[in-house]
Amino acid sequence: MASRSAVISCLRYRDAPAAIEFLCTAFGFERHLVVPGDGGTIAHAQLSFRGGMVMLGSAAESEFGRLMAQPDETGGRVTQCTYVVVEDADAHYTRARAAGAEIVIDIKDEDYGGRGYTCRDPEGHIWNFGTYDPWMDDQG
C-alpha cells in the first residue's frame, strides 16, 4: 500500500472548477474525487500529488465557509500556505509559470537544503514547491 499523508490542506475557491483545472495543469495534481454541487459549484474535491492530497470546494456561505476568508478579502495576505515536495523544482517552476502561476519568490537554493519557489494561484492562495523533504535525513 502506498504511503499516504495524514495531514491534508483544505482550500475554498470562488471558481472551484477553474481552480481544479489550474491545479492539475500548472502544479501536476490529479483528480482523485470531484463531487459537483448545485449551479456549477464543487461540493467537495480531492486532488492527489505523490501520496499527498489537498481538498477543496466552492466558497460558500456555510458553517465552515464563515470560518474562512479568500485572499482578496485580506489584501492578498494568507495565514497559512501549502508546501509540496517535488522531484525537480526547476521543471515544476517552468510548468507552473507557463500555466500562469504568479511567482512571488523566485526559484532558489535554500540555506537549509533543497531548491524551491513560492507562487500564487489565480485566486491568490500561496503555494510553495521545493525539493526539500523534511522526512529525509540528508538534504545536501
Give domain limits for the chain: 9-130
DSSP 97: H
What pTM does this model have?
A: 0.91
Q: What is the CA radius of gyration of the chain?
A: 15
Maximum C-alpha span of the chain: 49
What are the DSSP calls for 66-84, one per residue?
A: GG---GGGTTT--S--EEE
3-state secondary structure (DSSP) of residue 67: helix
DSSP 88: -
Q: pLDDT at position 137, please?
A: 65
Q: pLDDT at position 4, please?
A: 75
Mean pLDDT of the region 98-120: 97
CATH superfamily of 9-130: 2,3-Dihydroxybiphenyl 1,2-Dioxygenase, domain 1 (3.10.180.10)
If pLDDT is split at 50, 70 and 90, which confidence band does 1 have? very low
Q: pLDDT at position 3, please?
A: 66
CA distance 132 to 139: 7
- Check if the beta carbon of residue 14 is closer than 8 Å to that of residue 58: yes
Mean pLDDT of the region 122-135: 96
